[in-house]
């Protein structure tokens, strides 16, 4: 399997609504699978299972069922932090947080075909992800968002552009407070794609959102060539 993900990278992150009491019969478990099925139909590039509170057993079951939905499609499946579960359940790779083992360790352990994304919040962290042989870094928060308050104030589009240029051609995916309007400025800043939770949670508008991101990315590409 090629580790290269076609740009723009459209990265859907699940909301983390599950908990230690969630089972495969729980509504929140089933809702994630419905979202993944719609994301596959919309040709979302990447899906991250960010369900940090699940037991290992239930996370394995969720990943296994999700992998059955993404297999033989254009959509790749990653698991937050748990590379062991990702590999055992048939996912494509892992997304590493600031507290995870390094991408270089993951690469040595899981091999050249394992897709590895890394969270970053500075130029130094983006450089480190590139040096550690990750496949891409998610960078942010670009805009204000409650889920990223722990990582400080929003850093803005100008800083995003600086990071993109510094580590190019290593892919940087914008994250944090991104909505249907402000994602345009992230792509104009050179981001290789858009990551988000809320942006992709409305299953009814998911295809429309994905289509618009691709159209804006292509338009910006044409402008840069002129």
Question: What is the CATH code for 9-225?
Answer: 3.20.20.70
Q: Is the pLDDT of residue 3 over 80?
A: no
DSSP string, 81-131: S-HHHHHHHT-SEEEE-TTSPPHHHHHHHH-TT-EEEEEESSHHHHHHHHH
Inter-residue contact 49 to 63 (CB < 8 Å): yes
CA distance 163 to 177: 18
Across the chain, where does the E strand assignment appear?
Answer: 9-13, 46-49, 76-80, 93-96, 115-120, 136-139, 172-174, 193-196
d(CA 173, CA 194): 5
Q: In the prediction, which pLDDT does 23 show? A: 98
Q: How many CA atoms lie within 13 A of 102 on its CB side?
A: 12
The DSSP symbol for 146 reads: G
Mean pLDDT of 181-191: 97
Computed over every residue of the chain, the mean pLDDT equals: 94
pLDDT score, position 226: 35
- Cα separation of the two ends of the chain: 34
Q: DSSP letter at 148?
A: G
pLDDT 10s digits, 40-74: 999 999 999 999 999 999 999 999 999 999 999 99
* Domain positions in the chain: 9-225
pLDDT of residue 67: 98
Q: Which residues contact 219 (CB under 8 A, 6 or more apart)?
A: none
């Amino acid at each position: 399997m090629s580790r290269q993900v076609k740009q723009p990278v459209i990265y859907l992150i699940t909301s983390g609504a599950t908990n230690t009491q969630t089972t495969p019969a729980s509504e929140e478990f089933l809702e994630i699978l419905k979202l993944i099925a719609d994301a596959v139909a919309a040709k979302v590039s990447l899906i991250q299972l960010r369900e940090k509170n699940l037991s290992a057993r239930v996370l394995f079951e969720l990943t296994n069922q999700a992998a059955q939905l993404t297999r033989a499609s254009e959509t790749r499946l990653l698991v937050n932090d748990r590379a062991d579960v990702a590999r055992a359940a048939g996912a494509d790779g892992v997304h590493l947080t600031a507290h995870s083992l390094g991408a270089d360790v993951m690469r040595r352990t899981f091999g050249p075909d394992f897709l590895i994304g890394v969270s970053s919040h500075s130029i130094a962290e983006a450089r480190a992800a590139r040096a550690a042989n990750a496949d891409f870094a998610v960078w942010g928060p670009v805009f204000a968002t409650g889920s990223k308050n722990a990582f400080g104030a929003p850093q803005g589009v100008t800083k995003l552009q600086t990071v993109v240029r510094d580590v190019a051609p290593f892919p940087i995916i914008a994250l944090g407070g991104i909505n249907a309007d402000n994602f345009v400025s992230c792509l104009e800043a050179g981001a290789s794609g858009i990551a988000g939770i809320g942006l992709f949670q409305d299953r009814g508008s998911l295809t429309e959102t994905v289509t618009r991101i691709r159209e804006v990315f292509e338009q910006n590409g044409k402008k840069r060539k002129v």
